[in-house]
Amino acid sequence: MKSEWVPYFLVAFLVIVWGSAFGLTTVALEAFSPVETAFGRTALAAVVVASVAIFSGQGIPNTLLEWRWLSLLGIVGLAAPITLLSWAQLSIPGSVASIFISSVPLFILLATRVILREPVSKRKWIGFAIGFAGLVWLAGPAAISQVGAEGQARAQLACLLVAMGYASGAIIIKVMPSVPSFRATAGTMISGAVFLLPFGYSAFETALGAPTVPLIALIVLGILPSGIGQNIRYVVIKRRGPVFMSVVGFLIPIWAGFIGFFILDEPITLHAVSAYAIILGGLLISRDRVKKA
């Protein structure tokens, strides 16, 4: 019972780390191309996590079965999504991208029911739908009006594919054989980096002449959202399942609003407060009732 709070703490940490990734990516894109950004953060994460895995005694994957699963996860659930998202952020504002990316929980619910054949309560369907409505309301009419706008349709489609990729990654983690977390994350990152190497190897050359701030942003992306973040994601999904993990997508915009108000001195509006209330209300509704013994 004492450890029941740990998954909630880890989810809160991921909200902070992944919520900051959008801004860090924007900064990194000032010097690196989308595929260079994706390769750079993945390769750095691979080096860091593989080092930790080796020194911790877990080591890197050493069987063909592990490499098969982790290669699938590294390509479908990591390398492809972060490359598409980096590319999309060149064309559309974060508010529009968040509408699509935050649809991950809904894709996970669908996959949980259709692929895993696990029951999903009506409370979760209703709660997640309300939470998603809150995200749309938070984005606002100005963002919604851009959906399907000329020149942005491909970027919006890319964001939708990103959400599907993240959801697929969560399902892969759920069904794959259990692997120690650092070893699993190391294998995932190595596979993702190898996949992106032919397209993003120029990141090494770009880094030599890159301005300091974008370079630091790329390094932080590799260590926190990609390295530590993906390791925590694996642990939480294995421990509590993909549906529990998916609430991160709903909470990230709330964290962004918190940063804007308390750090960036941005005003908080009644519109934003009402959206946050809808999102939190949806998450509260989605919680299954505790069965009495």
In a domain, 293, yes or no: no
Q: Is the pLDDT of residue 1 over 90?
A: no
Domain residues for the domain of 58 are 6-286
Task: Give the pLDDT of residue 260.
Answer: 66
| Tokens standing for residue 134 | 């809150």
Top-confidence residue, 179 or 135: 179
In a domain, 230, yes or no: yes
Task: Give the pLDDT of residue 148.
Answer: 53
For the segment 24-76, what is each residue's pLDDT rounded down to a tens digit? Answer: 888 999 999 999 999 999 999 999 999 999 999 999 999 999 999 999 999 99
In a domain, 292, yes or no: no
In a domain, 1, yes or no: no
**47: CB partners within 8 A, 6+ apart:** none
In a domain, 51, yes or no: yes
In a domain, 93, yes or no: yes
Q: How much is the mean pLDDT over the chain?
A: 86
In a domain, 195, yes or no: yes
pLDDT > 90 in the chain, percent: 49
Query: SS in 3 state form for 270-284?
Result: HHHHHHHHHHHHHHH
For the segment 201-229, what is each residue's pLDDT rounded down to a tens digit? Answer: 999 999 999 999 999 999 999 999 999 99
Largest CA distance in the chain: 64
Task: Give the pLDDT of residue 290.
Answer: 47
**Phi, psi of 176, rounded to the nearest 5 degrees:** -70, 155
For the segment 140-152, what is each residue's pLDDT rounded down to a tens digit? Answer: 665 555 555 555 7
Task: Give the pLDDT of residue 208.
Answer: 93
Task: Give the pLDDT of residue 121.
Answer: 82
Mean pLDDT of 2-24: 84
Mean pLDDT of 105-130: 86
pLDDT > 70 in the chain, percent: 88
Q: Is the pLDDT of residue 256 over 90?
A: no
In a domain, 61, yes or no: yes
**Phi, psi of 84, rounded to the nearest 5 degrees:** -65, -40
Question: What is the count of structural domains for the chain?
Answer: 1
When pLDDT is cut at 50, 70 and 90, the band that residue 3 belongs to is low
Q: Enter the pTM of the model.
A: 0.86
Task: Give the pLDDT of residue 103.
Answer: 80
Tell me the three state secondary structure of residue 139: helix
